[in-house]
């Protein structure tokens, strides 16, 4: 086979997956189930005389070993604080206890996790939202103890300016480039101004990608999974992603989340001014995220509409609508 157009994950065959898991001293039973994941490759692997495990193979060249292990250390601190997170399993045979949660096999870095069941929280159930607020506060109490040393910060340069530059150069059609660049220039200026206007914002270690797909509800509690995007950010980053619906619905959801949150940690209302800037940055980053991985065969299959003139026309319309949202009054906390 020619290697000119081979993506690294193409070499991650079922045999390699099973051999990697067995390199940790386990015996697999041959059962393998691919789970929904695009950034990395994640599989449920059957274990002889045991419960199946989850094997996560990290995307090459995304994170350094130090950054992955720093995420694992953060999860370990959350476990020590009795928070319901799914932590990677340590290799009992590792010669280095500090690196025991990250393994390597045939140039693939991977970790093993216990399999946990559950379902997404019901965001129209205000009891669920209240409980989510409590657990996010406890997570942020741990996250605020010290900063990440090697993992990045969520900022407008990486998620906004760099994303727009990459997309403009590689993907925006010629006939839409002027409209896209003009609009995103105004968006980025508005984002930078609004972020700069919010003073004394504490950055802390946060989940970073705290949407309902990364929360399993079981035993009347949320279980947070996949801290792969953990980074330094304001606390509201983990809150706004749980809001949905119209303004009235989001205001009610926000009130419930913050009610629960403030049972364990003070929330700074000035961070509400960051919700729409952070939402806009996520929109810009999302397009660049797909574009930077377009050579991964999984991405054209999962996002067939990307890289089409219609997508970019719709994206410009969505960003114009988001510009209007940036100029709307911020959500307010209501009793």
Q: What residues act catalytically?
A: 209, 226
What DSSP character marks residue 157?
I
- Distance from C-alpha of 258 to C-alpha of 139, rounded to nearest angstrom: 14
Whole-angstrom Cα Rg for the chain: 21
Q: What is the dihedral of CA 75, 78, 84, 86, to 10 degrees?
A: 10
- Distance from C-alpha of 300 to C-alpha of 316, rounded to nearest angstrom: 21
Is the distance from CB of 117 to CB of 25 less than 8 angstroms? Answer: no
What DSSP character marks residue 111?
E
For 125, residues 6+ apart whose C-beta sits below 8 A from its C-beta are none
- Distance from C-alpha of 210 to C-alpha of 212, rounded to nearest angstrom: 7
- Distance from C-alpha of 307 to C-alpha of 7, rounded to nearest angstrom: 19
H helical segments located in the chain: 14-22, 65-80, 126-143, 156, 162-170, 174-197, 237-240, 247-261, 275-292, 298-302, 309-326
- Which residue's entry shows tokens 């409980």? 131
Kindly give the pairing relationship between strand 28-34 and strand 53-57. Answer: unpaired
- Geometric angle at alpha carbon 111, from 107 and 117, rounded to 5°: 145
What phi and psi values does residue 17 have, to the nearest 5 degrees? -60, -50
């Amino acid at each position: 086979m020619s290697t000119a157009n081979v993506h690294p994950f193409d070499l991650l065959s079922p045999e390699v997956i099973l051999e990697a898991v067995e390199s940790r001293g386990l015996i697999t039973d041959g059962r393998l189930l691919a789970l929904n994941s695009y950034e990395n490759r994640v599989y449920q692997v059957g274990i002889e005389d045991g419960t199946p495990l989850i094997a996560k193979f990290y995307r090459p060249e995304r994170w350094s070993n130090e950054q992955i292990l720093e995420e694992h250390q953060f999860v370990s601190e959350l476990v020590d604080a009795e928070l319901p997170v799914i932590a990677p399993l340590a290799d009992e045979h590792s010669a280095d206890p500090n690196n025991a949660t990250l393994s390597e096999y045939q140039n693939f870095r991977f970790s093993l996790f216990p399999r946990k069941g559950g379902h997404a929280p019901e965001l129209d159930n205000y009891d669920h939202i209240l409980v989510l607020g409590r657990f996010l506060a406890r997570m942020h109490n741990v996250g605020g103890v010290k900063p990440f040393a090697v993992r990045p910060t969520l900022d407008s340069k990486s998620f906004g300016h760099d994303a727009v530059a990459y997309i403009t150069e590689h993907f925006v059609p010629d006939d839409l480039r002027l409209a896209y660049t003009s609009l995103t220039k105004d968006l980025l200026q508005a984002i930078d101004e609004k972020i700069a206007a919010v003073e004394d914002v504490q950055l802390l270690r946060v989940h970073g990608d705290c949407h309902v797909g990364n929360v399993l509800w079981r035993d009347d509690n949320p279980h947070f999974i996949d801290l792969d995007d953990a980074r330094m950010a304001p606390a509201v980053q983990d809150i706004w992603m749980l809001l949905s619906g119209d303004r009235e619905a989001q205001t009610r959801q926000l009130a419930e989340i913050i009610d629960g949150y403030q049972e364990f940690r003070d929330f700074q209302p000035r961070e509400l001014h960051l919700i729409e800037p952070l939402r806009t940055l996520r929109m810009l980053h999302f397009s660049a995220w797909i574009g930077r991985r377009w050579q991964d065969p999984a991405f054209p299959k999962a996002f067939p509409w990307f890289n089409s003139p219609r997508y970019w026309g719709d994206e410009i319309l969505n960003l114009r609508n988001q510009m209007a949202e940036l100029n709307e009054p911020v959500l307010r906390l209501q009793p």
